[in-house]
Amino acid sequence: MAGITLRNLVKAYGRVRVVHGIDLDIGNHEFVVLVGPSGCGKSTTLRMIAGLEEITSGEIRIGGRLVNDLPPRKRNIAMVFQNYALYPHMTVRDNLGFGLKIAGQPKEVVAARVQEAADILGLAQLLDRTPAELSGGQRQRVAMGRAIVRHPDAFLFDEPLSNLDAKLRGQMRAEIKKLHQKVNNTVVYVTHDQVEAMTLADRIVIMRDGHIEQTGTPMEVFNRPANIFVAGFIGSPPMNQLPCSAEAGGLRLADGTVLPVPARLAGKVRPGAALILGVRPDDISPEGSGLLATGEGAMVRLTVDIAEPLGMESLLYSRLAGQEVQSKVFGPRLVSPGEVLDCRIALDRAHLFDAATGRSLEAA
């Protein structure tokens, strides 16, 4: 068991930098999820931790030990790959036991640990099959089993669920969470799916273009996104972003509507500043049909373009200040296109970002 520390970690392919000096402290037993859009350098970072990718500069420590120049086999980590990477010519049993066998463990220890892992993951019936004879979900479990038998210092997962269908993905997500509670190892988990990140992580690291945009617990990054990118990335459907300018009376939207400045940000708004108002769809809804709305609010008038009934709630695509916004209506309330709704914006949960830098005013 060990924490992982990254210090000013840089990766460049030739002259192209893809990871720009990342700093990250991952605590012992912590489940950290690296999330970000495709190509942002998540896999590269993970592979550098694993030792599969050389680092250009910086430092990686696992359990306090500098591992920069150690080959993967000396880092005592286990990795689960996106397409499982099982050994095709070995049975499940041999796949699970391979790492222990290579490490020179006695046969009985290997057998016992394989059995233990098989029991945890429900693979006991499949031990004599080859990977070709398994379903996707079963292969995924074998890949995880192969990781846990070795009792490594840390687990690294690279989008382990992205090859599964939606239902199985949900199921395996729950299993990974259970597994972590059971074995309680340090985990670094890469995904581009923010739902996975929110549900699994103790701490989320949001990356973009080789930089870390924000690090925090799921609730922190959801409730206090550090910038527009994080705000748009975390949460589904994404946060509405309304350009506005600060005035003496409040925030003036593109069509002239003026909304009051949220009280908690009042001191931070400079008059004349170009801003972006961020409001989650959950926080715009007709009075009485939304989330419990007791805090400060402001009324706006929306014209509905499309309504998507989802059962418990409907998702509305409407126009506000000439821009499309998404909002939610709770309860059995049918909304038809073209309808004009008076909606309440929960300002106490709204965010303001500097239009130029994208940074949240809250942070400043």
Partner 1 sequence: MARILTSRRAALTPLLLLLPAIATMLFVVALPLVFSLWTSFTPYRLTRPDTLYDVIGLRNYIRLMSDAAFWVAFGRTVLFLAIALNVEFLLGLGIALLINRITWGQRGLRTIMMFPMMFSPILVGFQFKFIFNDNIGILNNALQSLGLTDQAIPWLVDARLAMFSIIFAEVWMSTSVFAILLLAGLFAMPRDPLEAAKVDGCNAWQVFRHIMLPFLMPFAFIAMTIRSLDVARAYDIVAVMTGGGPAGRTELLWTLIARVGYDNARMGQANAMAYVSTLLSVLFTWYFFRKLVAARRYMGGAQ
Ligand X SMILES: Nc1ncnc2c1ncn2[C@@H]1O[C@H](COP(=O)(O)OP(=O)(O)OP(=O)(O)O)[C@@H](O)[C@H]1O
In this structure, which amino acid lies at residue 358?
G
Per DSSP bridges, beta strands 154-158 and 186-191 are parallel
Q: Is 145 in the site for partner 1 (CB under 8 A)?
A: no
Site for partner 1 in 32-71 (CB under 8 A): 50-52, 71
Q: Is 266 in the site for partner 1 (CB under 8 A)?
A: no
Q: Is 43 in the site for Mg ion (CB under 5 A)?
A: yes
The least distance separating ligand X from the CB of residue 12, rounded to whole angstroms, comes to: 9
The closest of 253, 251, 220, 254 to 234, measured between CA atoms, is 220
> How many whole angstroms separate alpha carbon 188 and alpha carbon 185?
10
Q: Is 89 in the site for partner 1 (CB under 8 A)?
A: yes
Site for ligand X in 179-218 (CB under 6 A): 192
Site for partner 1 in 104-143 (CB under 8 A): 130-133
> How many whole angstroms separate alpha carbon 127 and alpha carbon 145?
11
Across the strands, what pairs with 189? 33, 157
Q: Can you tell me which of 26, 40, 92, 179 binds ligand X, judged by CB under 6 A?
A: 40
Asked if residue 314 lies in contact with residue 308, where contact means CB atoms within 8 angstroms, the answer is yes
The least distance separating ligand X from the CB of residue 207, rounded to whole angstroms, comes to: 7
DSSP class of residue 123? -
Asked if residue 94 lies in contact with residue 145, where contact means CB atoms within 8 angstroms, the answer is no
Q: Is 336 in the site for ligand X (CB under 6 A)?
A: no
Q: Can you tell me which of 6, 31, 35, 44 binds ligand X, judged by CB under 6 A?
A: 44
Q: Could you say which of ligand X, Mg ion, partner 1, none residue 81 binds, taking C-beta under 5 to 8 angstroms by partner kind?
A: partner 1
Q: Is 233 in the site for ligand X (CB under 6 A)?
A: no
Strand, coil or helix: what is 1?
Answer: coil
Q: Number of residues in contact with partner 1, rule: CB under 8 A? A: 28
Q: Can you tell me which of 22, 35, 43, 154 binds ligand X, judged by CB under 6 A?
A: 43
Q: Which is nearer to partner 1, 98 or 222 (CB)?
A: 98
Q: Which is nearer to partner 1, 70 or 298 (CB)?
A: 70
Asked if residue 35 lies in contact with residue 192, where contact means CB atoms within 8 angstroms, the answer is yes
Across the strands, what pairs with 284? 345
In this structure, which amino acid lies at residue 57?
S
Kindly indicate which of the ranges 34-42, 132-140, 222-230, 268-276 contains the residues binding ligand X, using the contact rule CB under 6 A. Answer: 34-42
**Whole-Å CA distances, 17 to 9, 53, 69, 90, 291:** 11, 14, 20, 38, 44
- Residue 131 phi, psi (nearest 5): -55, -35
**Could you list the residues that contact partner 1 (CB under 8 A)?**
50-52, 71-73, 77-79, 81, 83-90, 98-99, 102-103, 130-133, 146, 150
Residue numbers of the site for ligand X (CB under 6 A)? Answer: 13, 18, 36, 38-44, 192
